């Protein structure tokens, strides 16, 4: 293929939040050899190349303006599944949805999942995704037995915690900047029911919210908080905590039935009547400061009674998939998700300052989601011994500059509080900020590996150019 042949593949791509656009030459390999050929093409044409899974990153991680993007959705075969050991070998385009639907009927569940099941395994490894159990089991990378990858040099290699360990810990969480995953071997988690036991309770302010996450996490397998970021004053940081445990063997007498797919899949209609696919149209009129403040207040009031209930794994983990295309409700200019990770000692003061600042500037976040985390040993890790808070901001033509200024101020507060960032979310964070939180040693090691794996600098994304190039 030559550059003129490539022209017909030139299409405009967007991030998940629809706040960024970048045209690129999109290729869709369906074998590892075609990835190696794409690298040769990039070398011949002088274009850079980036991988893309399902494009569910909120920011510019899966964009490569003016370059080549290889979409890996066609490499979506589950190559081996062992229902005795729970070990799966899969291609990088396999989605979490395909994965859990393959393993659950046999009594297994993926050890770590993102808040949407539409992500691919390649994207999940590249971001080293965390779940609502990060404090307990770490990120997905800690459950990878090994992976295979193609490097820009054309070399194919296998990495595990013992073989090519430096690349194992750098490529997982490396956002596709060192090589492209071609297969992943992952250990699943044994489960004895298709249901989780969930406890729901309110938190009346930020102090209570974080104290609940901190003190109660050790008693649960999963914990997550919803935060009403539109509430100020004494209610600042109020919200709701959901904490869940697996059921032990024998606790669910209908385990075989609850693990059946038809008892897990999310219903296509709301109240059995409205197709979910049209719900985002009805959300649009409420996506403003007043509308979300009213909705959040209503949600907070209904969350006041403490209760426990049993819920399917899919319903607990993939709440955001209930309403397809919900992000479109944010309007034409889309949304930005800003997720910060703060040590448990500094989180409360920093988020108090950030929440108050966003309210003062008239730029409230419409959704806040908190989690409990622990550190891990991946090179570009976002984790801390503390918490994360993911905040969604509506972008409009009128507020874009002010929003960028707010998020820059957030970055300063987070870095000064010893915090970290997640490269799948924030789109405003700058190179100097990344260098500060990652530290000189991690950056130097990353650059050393980049030189070794990609001597001609072929692997690039908009995110790479923003943060590292
Ligand atoms: C609604 C929603 C909820 C989310 N919840 C969570 C959550 O709970 N926890 C969490 O950690 N994240 C979460 N995320 C973020 C999401 O999990 C990550 O952005 C993930 O990387 C997306 O996977 P993807 O397949 O769409 O990858 P893409 O967005 O397409 O790509 C992400 C990165 O992976 C690289 N990449 C993709 N495939 C490969 C490959 N085969 N080899 C090498 N690099 C590759 C790309 O170059 C890019 O840098 C959420 C996102 C959404 C939209």
Please report which residue ranges of 104-251 form alpha helices under DSSP H: 121-127, 134-137, 165-171, 206-216
Residues paired with 390 in a beta bridge: 339, 369
Q: Is 47 left (phi over 0), alpha (psi -120 to 50) or beta?
A: beta
d(CA 248, CA 122): 31
Query: Does ligand 1 lie within 6 Å of residue 223's CB atom?
Result: no
Contact 313, 194 (CB under 8 A): yes
Contact 467, 431 (CB under 8 A): yes
- Is the pLDDT at 90 greater than 70? The verdict is yes
DSSP code per residue over 388-420:
EEEEEEE--TTTHHHHHHHHHHHHHHHHHTT-E
pLDDT score at 271: 65
Query: Does ligand 1 lie within 6 Å of residue 92's CB atom?
Result: yes
Range 76-93 average pLDDT: 98
Backbone angles phi, psi at 10, to 5 degrees: -80, 110
Query: Does ligand 1 lie within 6 Å of residue 139's CB atom?
Result: no
State pLDDT tens for residues 26-37. 999 999 999 999
d(CA 198, CA 306): 11
Range 332-336 average pLDDT: 95
Range 86-104 average pLDDT: 98
pLDDT score at 7: 87
Q: Token digits for 4?
A: 């003129």
Q: How far is the CA of 209 from the centre of ligand 1 (A)?
A: 28
Higher pLDDT, 395 or 1: 395
CA-proximal residue: ligand 1, atom 6 (nearest): 114
Query: Does ligand 1 lie within 6 Å of residue 316's CB atom?
Result: no
State pLDDT tens for residues 5-19. 888 899 999 999 999
Rounded to the nearest 5 percent, the helix, strand and coil shares of the chain are: 35, 25, 40
Q: Looking at ligand 1, which atom is closest to the CA of residue 424?
A: 19
Query: Does ligand 1 lie within 6 Å of residue 152's CB atom?
Result: no
d(CA 339, CA 423): 9
Highest mean pLDDT among 154-168, 259-273, 278-292, 321-335: 154-168
Backbone angles phi, psi at 464, to 5 degrees: -60, -45
Contact 21, 337 (CB under 8 A): no
- Is the pLDDT at 236 greater than 80? The verdict is yes
Given pLDDT bands bounded at 50, 70 and 90, which one contains residue 1? confident
Describe the crossing of helices 431-438 and 440-453 by its angle, rounded to 10 degrees.
110
d(CA 223, CA 239): 13
Please report which residue ranges of 198-344 form alpha helices under DSSP H: 206-216, 255-258, 279-283, 289-302, 313-317
- Cα-to-chain-centroid distance, residue 408: 21
What letter does residue 252 receive in the DSSP assignment?
-
**Whole-model pTM above 0.75?**
yes
Contact 210, 355 (CB under 8 A): no
pLDDT score at 351: 98
CA-proximal residue: ligand 1, atom 40 (nearest): 122
Q: How far is the CA of 7 from the centre of ligand 1 (A)?
A: 27
- Is the pLDDT at 278 greater than 90? The verdict is no
Percent residues over pLDDT 90 in the chain: 91
State pLDDT tens for residues 437-456. 999 999 999 999 999 999 99
- Is the pLDDT at 269 greater than 80? The verdict is no
> What three-state secondary structure class fits 357?
helix
d(CA 332, CA 20): 11
Q: How far is the CA of 128 from the centre of ligand 1 (A)?
A: 8
Query: Does ligand 1 lie within 6 Å of residue 97's CB atom?
Result: no
Q: How far is the CA of 114 from the centre of ligand 1 (A)?
A: 9
DSSP code per residue over 95-108:
BHHHHHHHHGGGTE
- The beta-strand segments (E) located in 231-359 are 239-246, 269-270, 274-275, 307-312, 335-343
Given pLDDT bands bounded at 50, 70 and 90, which one contains residue 279? confident
Query: Does ligand 1 lie within 6 Å of residue 126's CB atom?
Result: yes
- Is the pLDDT at 85 greater than 90? The verdict is yes
The residue count for the chain:
469
State pLDDT tens for residues 196-210. 999 999 999 999 999
Other beta carbons within 10 angstroms of residue 165's beta carbon come to 11
| 359 sits in which H/E element | helix 347-360
Percent residues over pLDDT 70 in the chain: 100
Contact 217, 135 (CB under 8 A): yes
Contact 300, 238 (CB under 8 A): yes
Of 7, 11, 24, nearest in space to 66 by CA: 24
Q: How far is the CA of 59 from the centre of ligand 1 (A)?
A: 10
Query: Does ligand 1 lie within 6 Å of residue 56's CB atom?
Result: yes
d(CA 376, CA 398): 40
Query: Does ligand 1 lie within 6 Å of residue 354's CB atom?
Result: no
Residues paired with 343 in a beta bridge: 386
pLDDT score at 277: 79
Of 310, 308, 111, 82, nearest in space to 193 by CA: 310
Contact 222, 113 (CB under 8 A): no
Q: Token digits for 220?
A: 């649960």
Range 313-328 average pLDDT: 92
State pLDDT tens for residues 375-396. 999 999 999 999 999 999 999 9
Q: How far is the CA of 309 from the centre of ligand 1 (A)?
A: 30
Query: Does ligand 1 lie within 6 Å of residue 406's CB atom?
Result: no
CA-proximal residue: ligand 1, atom 19 (nearest): 57
pLDDT score at 32: 95
Query: Average pLDDT over the chain, rounded to whole?
Result: 95
Query: Does ligand 1 lie within 6 Å of residue 130's CB atom?
Result: yes
> What three-state secondary structure class fits 177?
coil
């Amino acid at each position: 293929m030559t550059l003129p042949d490539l022209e017909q593949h030139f299409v405009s791509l967007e991030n998940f939040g629809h706040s960024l656009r970048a045209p690129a030459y999109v290729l869709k390999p369906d074998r590892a050899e075609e990835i190696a050929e794409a690298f040769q093409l990039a070398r011949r044409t002088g274009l850079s190349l980036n991988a893309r899974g399902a494009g569910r990153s909120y920011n510019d991680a899966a964009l490569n303006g003016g370059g080549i993007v290889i979409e890996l959705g066609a490499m979506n075969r589950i190559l081996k599944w062992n229902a005795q050991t729970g070990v799966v070998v899969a291609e990088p385009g396999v989605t979490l949805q395909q994965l859990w639907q393959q393993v659950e009927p046999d009594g297994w569940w993926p050890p770590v999942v993102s808040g949407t099941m539409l992500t691919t395994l390649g994207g999940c490894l590249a971001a080293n995704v965390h779940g609502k159990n990060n404090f307990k089991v770490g990120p997905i990378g800690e459950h990878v037995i090994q992976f295979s990858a193609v490097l820009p040099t054309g070399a194919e290699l296998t990495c595990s915690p013992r073989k090519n360990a430096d690349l194992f810990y750098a490529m997982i969480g490396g956002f596709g900047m060192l090589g492209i995953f071609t297969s992943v071997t992952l250990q699943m988690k044994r489960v004895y029911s298709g249901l989780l036991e969930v406890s729901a309770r309110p938190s009346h302010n930020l102090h209570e919210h974080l104290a609940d996450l901190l003190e109660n996490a050790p008693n649960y397998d999963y914990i997550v908080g919803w935060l009403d970021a539109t509430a100020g004053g004494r209610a600042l940081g109020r919200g709701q905590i959901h904490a869940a445990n697996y059921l032990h063997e024998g606790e669910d007498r209908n385990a075989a039935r609850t693990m059946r797919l038809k008892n897990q899949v999310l219903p296509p209609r709301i109240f059995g009547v409205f197709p979910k696919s049209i719900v985002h149209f009805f959300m649009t009129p409420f996506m403003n400061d007043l509308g979300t403040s009213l909705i959040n207040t209503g949600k907070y009031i209904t969350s006041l009674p403490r209760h426990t209930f049993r819920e399917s794994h899919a319903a607990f983990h993939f709440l955001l998939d209930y309403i397809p295309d919900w992000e479109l409700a944010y309007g034409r200019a889309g949304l930005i998700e800003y997720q910060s990770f703060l040590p448990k000692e500094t989180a409360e003061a920093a988020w108090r300052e950030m929440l108050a600042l966003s309210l003062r500037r008239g730029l409230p976040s419409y959704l806040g989601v908190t989690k409990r985390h622990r550190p891990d040993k991946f090179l570009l890790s976002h984790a801390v011994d503390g918490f994360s808070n993911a905040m969604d901001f509506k972008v409009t033509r009128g507020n874009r500059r002010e929003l960028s200024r707010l998020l820059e101020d957030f970055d300063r507060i987070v870095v000064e509080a010893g915090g970290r960032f997640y490269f799948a979310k924030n789109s405003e964070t700058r190179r100097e900020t990344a260098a500060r939180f990652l530290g000189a040693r991690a950056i130097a090691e990353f650059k050393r590996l980049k030189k070794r794996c990609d001597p001609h600098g072929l692997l690039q994304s908009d995110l790479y150019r923003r943060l590292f190039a």
